[in-house]
Structure 1
Amino acid sequence: MIIASKDFRDEEYFVTKEVLERQGNKVKAISNDKKAIGKFGGEVVADILIKDLEIDNFDAVVFVGGSGAIELLDNDISYNICKECIKRDKILGAICISPVILAKSGVLRGKKASVWSSNMDKSAIFLMGLMLKKSLNLENY
């Protein structure tokens, strides 16, 4: 699970992690810094720095939301992770606002997606809107 080192949504990380682990999955914390602090004070020590992530070692990658996701993870490193997940047929997920990262990486072209709406990143939400319209068969939009 990829979390921002600052202001990730605590419940999105901790609850999802707990559910995945209860089902027998191994979950690793991946972040842009060794220590991550959630919006509500939850602390996580990253197992892997995002720059060192090797996609082939995982079955799935999930971006956790929160304002930190847009501030700290909306970048080429994350976009490349998204593209590599798709290229290697890995499960790629995103919670809350973080589907914006998937949209900006280009992996949502022609796909339906939902994202938490806010004023955090109007350009990406607009971009997702264009992609959603295309997925609804508005050709050559």
Structure 2
Amino acid sequence: MKKILLLLADGFEAVEASVFSDVLGWNRWEGDGSTEVVTVGLRDKLTCTWNFTVLPEKTLDEIVLDEFDALAIPGGFEEAGFYEDAFSPPFLNVIRHFHANQKPIASICVASLALGKSGILQGKKATTYNHSTSIRKEQLKNFGAVVQNDLVVEDGHIITSSNPGTAFDVAFLLLENLTTKENADHVKELMGF
């Protein structure tokens, strides 16, 4: 069984988190059965971008990082306090741990900024929120990333994406990396993609 740590910052977008639990959950019951998602936050109660309240299964101090095979991080909104958690030392240290062990890291939208802040995107191809009025690409570049204009970017074991609309693509790519393309395609077909 491959355990995926779904790391949630206060102010995260629920839709971006749900794709990981759904795709990997479908795989557990209808695919090859090899994935388990554990939701983890810095606190025992989180508020999503649009005031949806979530109780993660575990807090960061209750888990052992070495027990996990992959990391998934949804993005969120600055106005909802996302960067307070996402840029905090404990959050960044989780990212660094997975990178140091070359385990898959999948991020959606502005979650790539946390990867950048952690230092793991130095010289790596990556993307982030891509709306023409957004300052996020410049921020990512300032963290040392080689910013791409693609919707989803994979560089080694790191996946980044450009907006919430890419969420399913990221989740399926993570599933493919953890299992096989054939298995990911099977789950896609079962889910109507």
User: Normalised by the size of structure 1, how large is the TM-score?
Assistant: 0.79
Is the contact made by 2:129 and 2:137 (CA closer than 8 Å) also made in structure 1?
Answer: no
Partner residue of 1:19 out of 12, 17, 23: 23
Distance 2:51 2:108 in 1: 19
**Distance in structure 2 (CA, Å) of the matches to 1:111 and 1:124:** 14
**Number of aligned pairs?**
130
Distance 1:126 1:89, change over 3 A: closer
1:55-94 alignment runs, 5 A limit: 55-67=65-77, 68-94=81-107
Structure 1 position 29 matched with structure 2 position 43 = no
RMSD: 2.2
Partner of 2:139: 124
Distance in 2, matches of 1:106 and 1:8, equals: 21
Q: 1:51 to 1:116 in 2, by over 3 A?
A: farther
In structure 1, what is the Cα distance between the partners aligned to 2:64 and 2:139? 26
Task: For residue 30 of structure 1, report the CA deviation from its aligned partner.
Answer: 0.8
How far off is 1:16 after superposition?
Answer: 2.4
1:3 aligns with 2:8: yes
CA distance in 1 between partners of 2:52 and 2:18 (Å): 9
Give, in whole Å, the separation in 2 of the partners of 1:123 and 1:75: 20
Offset, 1:40: 2.8
Partner of 2:108 in structure 1?
95
Q: Which runs of 5+ in 1 are unaligned?
A: 134-141
* Partner amino acid, structure 2, of 1:65: G
Q: For 1:26-73, what per-residue CA distance to the aligned partner results, in whole angstroms no more than 9, with x for missing partners?
A: 111111210122123433211221344422111111111102432322
Residues 70 and 98, structure 1, Cα contact 8 Å, conserved in 2: no
% identity of equivalent residues: 25
- Give distance in 1, aligned partners of 2:87 and 2:63: 16
Change (3 A) 1:126 1:87: closer
AA aligned to 1:38 is C
Contact persistence 2:126–2:146 (CA under 8 A): yes
Contact 2:127-2:140 within 8 A present in 1 as well: no
Q: For structure 2, which runs of at least 5 residues remain unmatched after alignment?
A: 1-5, 29-34, 148-193
Counterparts of 1:51 and 1:64 in 2: how far apart (Å)? 20
Secondary structure of 1:39's aligned partner: coil
